[in-house]
Copies of this chain bind each other. A is one copy, B any other.
Amino acid sequence: MSDNRYQKGMENLKVMNPKSFQTLEDSLTDIAPDLARYVVEFPYGDIYTRPGLDLKIRELVTISAITTMGGADNQLKSHIRGALNVGCTKEEILEVIIQMAVYAGFPRAINGVLAAKEVFGEEESE
């Protein structure tokens, strides 16, 4: 059932990034609520629930992908928060982003590190 995917996705989101998703859902609710639902169902219900890779690695490969594509700072910060939530250390997150200097170039790596700095700063001020 579709409900099942949604439920599994929401359970995952509760662990991974409940605040970010709430913010996203709030911003989409009056304009494209289906997109918020797809976010729960497809990435969090179908993909992040797959066996074969733990959530820590899943967040780290997402961070490298979003750092590489550029122009998606909010999503990058959201997944840096998610990585912390599932147990990645700050060092691991930074190592992934620094490594992107090799593959995506220095501008993307620098922007990624500055996004991480912002997220780590929020964490500390909470």
- Of all chain B residues, which has the CB nearest A113? B32
Task: Specify which chain B residues have a CB less than 8 angstroms from the CB of A95 in the assembled complex.
Answer: 50, 52-53, 58
Instruction: Tell me whether B64 and A32 are in contact (CB under 8 A).
Output: no
Instruction: Tell me whether A47 and B101 are in contact (CB under 8 A).
Output: yes
Instruction: Tell me whether A61 and B58 are in contact (CB under 8 A).
Output: no
Known: A27-B114, A61-B99, A113-B28. A107 touches B75 (CB 8 A): yes
Instruction: Tell me whether A102 and B105 are in contact (CB under 8 A).
Output: yes
Instruction: Tell me whether B27 and A38 are in contact (CB under 8 A).
Output: no
Tally A residues with Cβ within 8 Å of B.
Answer: 64
Which one of A27, A64, A95 has the greatest number of beta carbons of chain B within 10 Å?
Answer: A64
Q: Is the interface of A mostly helix, strand, loop or mixed?
A: helix
A 43-58 to B, binary, CB cutoff 8 A, 1 in contact else 0: 1001100101100011
Instruction: Give the distance to chain B from A69, nearest Cβ to Cβ, in Å.
Output: 6
Instruction: Tell me whether B111 and A72 are in contact (CB under 8 A).
Output: yes
Q: Does A66 contact B (CB under 8 A)?
A: yes
Closest 9 CB pairs of A and B: A71-B71, A70-B71, A61-B64, A75-B107, A72-B107, A53-B95, A65-B68, A43-B102, A65-B103
